[in-house]
Amino acid sequence: MVTRKRLEPLLPWIVTIGFFAVWEVAVWALQIEVFILPAPSDIYRSFVRWHEAIWFNSLQTLYTTLIGFGLAVVGGMLLGLLIGYSKLAYSALYPILIGFNSIPKVALVPVFVIWFGIGTVPAILTAFLISFFPIVVNVATGLATVEPELEDVLRSLGATKRDIFLKVGLPASMPYFFASLKVAVTLAFVGSVIAETVASNRGVGYMMIAAQGRFDVPLVFAGLVAIAAMGIVLYAMFAWLEQRLTSWAYR
Amino acid sequence: MSAAVELNDVTLRYGADPNETPALRGVNLNVPAGDFAAVVGRSGCGKSSLLKLVSGLQPATHGTVSVDGEPVTRPVGVVGMAFQNSSLLPWRSTLENVLLPLEVVAHKRRDYRKNKKQYEQRACELLATVGLAGQEQTPPKSLSGGMRQRVSLCRALIHEPQLLLLDEPFGALDAFTKEELWQVLQELWRATGCTVILITHDLSEAVLLANTVYVMGPRPGRMIYRADIALKRPRELNDRFDRDFIDTVAELRHHIGQSHAGRQAA
């Protein structure tokens, strides 16, 4: 058991490094061309060579992602609370919400370009739209699953609707809210990068499309790695926040 | 401070259909101020509905419900409630859970905000009387089922209610924990002097704790028998093995059995 305990924190590193090692060996052994699948060492070299461009574009992507995500947090929270709290709002808004969520967000980017032009705004909006829905659904579920007895305790004391919401509904939905943030923030990256690949002159998505045009496949992969790394960091941040703020909900 | 409870020819129907069997029909109940009444009966005979009426959570379809001489139209803060499920808020500590009613009850709110320290002191004392001294900061999930139920009792009493409504508060506990809590409840009742209505499946529990035991019959829920318990106070756990006690329980049991047989014959 001692070895297992010591192994656990090392395991993610071993698996990740192992993954890249297998990749490297496979590319070398199967003699895969660099413009088909570059080896991790090629991607690393590309990182070193283009680090300024990668840094600049990653910051742009991070910026649009976080603004879109922030809007989704505020909007999703408000709408989720409304839907979870009021049966009427739920039945009125759910069909249209499902409809909007079913639309492929990439199909909306050209529309955003017509409205707002190429650049930052379409990326923010796409990140917002794609990460909005899971937050709404989770917050609404959290509110709707509050035990009726918890509410009865307060109602029998003559509590107002506002009291019940503030003392029971809102705190009870927090674990659901934080669980959705972890998913939503990674989705927000998907949204902003999609928009950048279709219509932008900045950001990792744009950089990848430009690199692809020059058959610089290692740089395309460097972009992917940069996005993945940012996704992991933000996910970890929200997982930590969740642990801190809603530890009561876990064993 | 305590309040009398009076139900006069009360009928409660959940659906709108007047031909549907009501949950309660023609229920009369009269609990004097400061008294301890127990209501027993099979599951689904409307015992919990009765408490919802008294607490004001549910309006009566017909008849009148009054507490302390005032007709009950909506929940008011003079009532304390505890259920089978302790329903503590998991994000609050034990102490914060006990203090919850003070943040909500209309006539205590302002006073609580001004004299927070004093009320916290009182909550700690209350926790100590039920044997939970030192557990003030423990989160509810770290407490045992019996301890959670003790906290739930404290929460029901912190705002000094005139009426304590208990809906099978010991139903999910093991026999020994239950016996301990009977003593705790008896002591709390003696100390506070509030009126208590206890709903239970357990006939020994009803006879041991109450002055009057009501038997309810099912479909529609109604009162079918009333027994005044004349046993001396304070009552000990061993009183349960006395002749009188056993006879009373047997009698109640008989009436509950009859209500069931009658229903099957019909």
Q: Check residue A1 and give its pLDDT.
A: 55
Testing the interface with B: which of A149, A157, A174 to mutate, by most B Cβ within 10 A?
A157
Report the chain B residue with the minimal C-alpha distance to residue A250.
Answer: B141
Q: B70 touching A, CB under 8 A?
A: no
Q: Check residue B10 and give its pLDDT.
A: 86
Residues in chain A: 251
Kindly report the pTM of this predicted structure. Answer: 0.79
Q: Determine the straight-line distance between the first and last CA of chain B, rounded to whole angstroms.
A: 45
* Closest among B20, B21, B15, B19 to B45, alpha carbons compared: B21
Testing the interface with B: which of A156, A174, A242 to mutate, by most B Cβ within 10 A?
A156
* Closest among B29, B37, B27 to B2, alpha carbons compared: B37
Q: Check residue A2 and give its pLDDT.
A: 59
Q: Quickly count helices (H) and strands (E) in chain A.
A: 12, 0
pLDDT tens track for B222-257: 888 888 888 887 888 888 888 888 988 888 889 888
All residue ranges of chain B with pLDDT < 70 are 1, 260-266
With an 8 Å Cβ cutoff, are B85 and A149 in contact?
A: yes
- Asked casually if ipTM beats, i.e. exceeds, 0.85, the reply is no
Q: Quickly count helices (H) and strands (E) in chain B.
A: 8, 10
With an 8 Å Cβ cutoff, are A156 and B75 in contact?
A: yes
Q: Check residue A87 and give its pLDDT.
A: 86
Q: Check residue A234 and give its pLDDT.
A: 94
pLDDT tens track for A147-174: 888 888 888 888 888 888 889 988 989 9
* Closest among A204, A182, A183, A184 to A193, alpha carbons compared: A204
Q: Check residue B266 and give its pLDDT.
A: 45
All residue ranges of chain A with pLDDT < 70 are 1-2, 251
Q: CA quadruple B92, A242, A63, A49: dihedral positive or negative? A: positive
Q: Check residue B261 and give its pLDDT.
A: 60
Q: B232 touching A, CB under 8 A?
A: no
CA–CA distance, B142 with A109 (Å, rounded to integer): 51
